[in-house]
Amino acid sequence: MTTVGSLDGFRVVDFTQGLCGPFCTMQLGDGGAEVIKIEPPAGDFARRMGPPFVGEESAVFLSLNRNKKSVALDLETAYGRNAAVQLARSADVVVEDFGPDGAGRIGLEYAKLREANAKLVYCSITPFGEDGPLRHASGSELVVQAMAEYTASLGRIGEKPVRVGADVASLNTGIFAAQAILAALFHRLRTGEGQRVAVSEFGSLLHLRGIMWHSLSDPDDWYGFHLDHYTAPPDYGYQAKDGALYFILRRANSEDWDRLVLELGMEQVLSDARFNDYGRAATSIGRYAAEVKPVWEKAFQKRTRDEIISLVHSIGGDAVPFMDYPTLLAHPQVAALGTITEIDHSTAGKFKTMRPVASFSETKESIRLPPPKLGHHTREVLQAAGMVDSDALSKSD
């Protein structure tokens, strides 16, 4: 039985490189769309991100480009530009990250494409947004994190900045881009009208810090992690004898609470108002959590992390260990959710990667194509579009 995807039959022509745009279009491909990845003769620059490489392929590139066909076109040449324009005209969706005015310089601007294809959904991705003094500035993962104050929630004041280890500027923006494209496609299905949509990495990260902007408007008092985190020291969770854990108490009752306190030898907290209401404000995101953390850690000193986790569970709390990648990926919960999947690549061999993130009961996500070799589908795609130029093709094969 063939899987029917939500986006079967939609054709996406993708001019993006790096992480953000490719993560966006991979989501569309997982949903069933045909994604044609247009690459310059040297390939998407993510093909050179690394080490690590798997065989000749960048591990990062492999993780973002399944379900795509690669067409190599030199947009510096008239032939390449004409072929690109023709493919873009046949598309339901075009995604580009050439920067403001960049698409216009090579004849791929929305205004021109829509003349031939009024139903086109055209998505532009920029580092900082399409208006304002930085509209032409180029960005990078760290530059956008720094400017959006993400580094203010990490490290220590006065010391060298620490970035979020995950590529949040790129990947979170890729999710917003996919939202914008899907919303515009939905509108098109209902009205027949296409349109141009835009997202930016800076705007995406600032949006995702929205609770902060609210918090800083006019708070009743200056406490709570949303405000204290600027000055708080690095947080490593709660230390037990053999490792760190994180826990939260939200549902204890009087009997459970007394048992926990006795078991941990923390009787002194029974007369400490910060531990009122069965410790509800004394852990995790509670008001007093940061200041009473040493009290917990003193009590955890002689116990293993698993003992503490069981104890917290036994009184209806939530507790988990801090894990690195080897322990996470060996965890039975990750296996139970089928989070990791394997793809067979023609030269890199079998490699592991994340499965599509959402599970749909009817229109299931699927992995139909491995990440492509550069230009692997050039001939197939151009021939199907009736554009055969053997000279140009031999150059890009």
Partner 1 sequence: MGKILDGIRVFDLTIAAVGPWSTKLLGALGADVIKVEAPGGDRLSHAVPPLIKGESVLYISANHNKRMIELDLKREADRAIAFKILEKSDVLVQNMRPGAVERLGLGYPVVTKVNPRLIYVAASAFGRVGPMAGEAGIDPTVQAFCGWCSITGPEQGRGEMFRHLAHLDLTTATIITRAVLQALIARERTGRGQLIEIEMLTAAMALQTTRLAEYFATDKQPDPLGSAAATTAPHEAFECADRRYLAIGVERDEQWPGFCRALHLSELISDPRFASNPLRVKHRAELIPVLAERFKSKPAAWWIIRLNKERVPNGPFLRFDELRHHPQVLANGHIVELDTPHWGRMHVDGLPWRFEHTPAGPIQAGGSSGEHTVELLTELGITVDRDTGAAQ
Number of residues counted as binding partner 1 (CB under 8 A):
153
- Cα–Cα distances in angstroms (integers) from residue 344 to residues 348, 372, 373, in the given order: 8, 11, 13
Question: Is there binding between residue 102 and partner 1 (CB under 8 A)?
Answer: no
What DSSP designation does 127 have? S
Q: Which is nearer to partner 1, 159 or 391 (CB)?
A: 159
| Contacts (CB under 8 A) with partner 1, residues 246-265 | 246-248, 250
Q: Is 366 in the site for partner 1 (CB under 8 A)?
A: no
Distance CA 303, CA 315 (A): 17
Closest contact distance (angstroms) between CB of 257 and partner 1 is 17
The b/e string for 36-55 (b: 16+ C-beta within 10 A; e otherwise) is bbbbbeebbebbebeeebbe
- The answer to whether 217 contacts partner 1 (rule: CB under 8 A) is yes
Does 59 bind partner 1 (CB under 8 A)? Our answer is: yes
Residue selected from 51, 192, 294, 386 as contacting partner 1 according to rule CB under 8 A: 51
Distance in Å, CB of 393 to partner 1, minimum:
25
**What are the C-alpha distances in Å from 269 to residues 134, 241, 260, 299, 314?**
53, 21, 11, 11, 19
Instruction: Among 12, 64, 93, 292, indicate the residue that binds partner 1 (CB under 8 A).
Output: 64
Query: In the bound complex, what is the minimum distance in angstroms from residue 163's beta carbon to partner 1?
Result: 5
The answer to whether the beta carbons of residues 374 and 70 sit under 8 Å apart is: yes
In the range 135-174, which residues lie near partner 1 by CB under 8 A? Answer: 137-155, 159-168, 170-172
Which residues does 313 contact at the CB level (< 8 Å), separation at least 6? 319
Give the distance between the most distant pair of CA atoms in the chain. 84
* Stretch touching partner 1 by CB under 8 A, among 73-81, 240-248, 257-265, 379-387: 240-248
**Binding span for partner 1 by CB under 8 A among 74-82, 230-238, 255-263, 266-274:** 230-238
Q: Which of 360, 363, 342 is nearest to 351 (CA)?
A: 342
Interface pick for partner 1 out of 41, 49, 263, 385 (rule CB under 8 A): 49
